[in-house]
Amino acid sequence: MIGLCDHLILPLGFARTATGRGSPAEILDALWLPSRSAVVLTDGGRGVFYRGRDETGLWHLPPHRVAVVDSTGAGDCFHGAYALALTRGADTAGRVAFAAAAAALSITGRGGREALPTDAQVTELLASTNAPSAVELKCARLDTGT
């Protein structure tokens, strides 16, 4: 099934096991296919690693600093927010940033639903002065074949 995904979003731990690779950069490189739009690796409190067709290079988005109450449902929230950003035409960086902000807000309450954020709350967090910025990973070979 992994080979069929256009937008592949996986937890880093699972991706590490599936690929047999160690670093996020190696894993992104191993999972990349010319047919993909994006490969995204979520890593909880360590942020998100990603590569997109519309990006050059591999990227790491550090986590938002929020008061964690319960991480239940954060992955589901990430996936849903990513899909919403995709329907709005956001590029890879925009989709990942929106999804990461939504997931960060979702862990500030108990259970998977108490703190599900609104669009306005996600937008506000993204506009805050302490919102993290993505940094390029420089340590992987990129297969840019089409």
pLDDT 10s digits, 12-55? 999 999 999 999 999 999 999 999 999 999 999 999 999 999 88
pTM for the model stands at 0.91
Alpha helices by DSSP H, listed for the chain, are: 12-19, 24-31, 74-87, 92-106, 119-127
pLDDT 10s digits, 70-115? 999 999 999 999 999 999 999 999 999 999 999 999 999 998 888 9
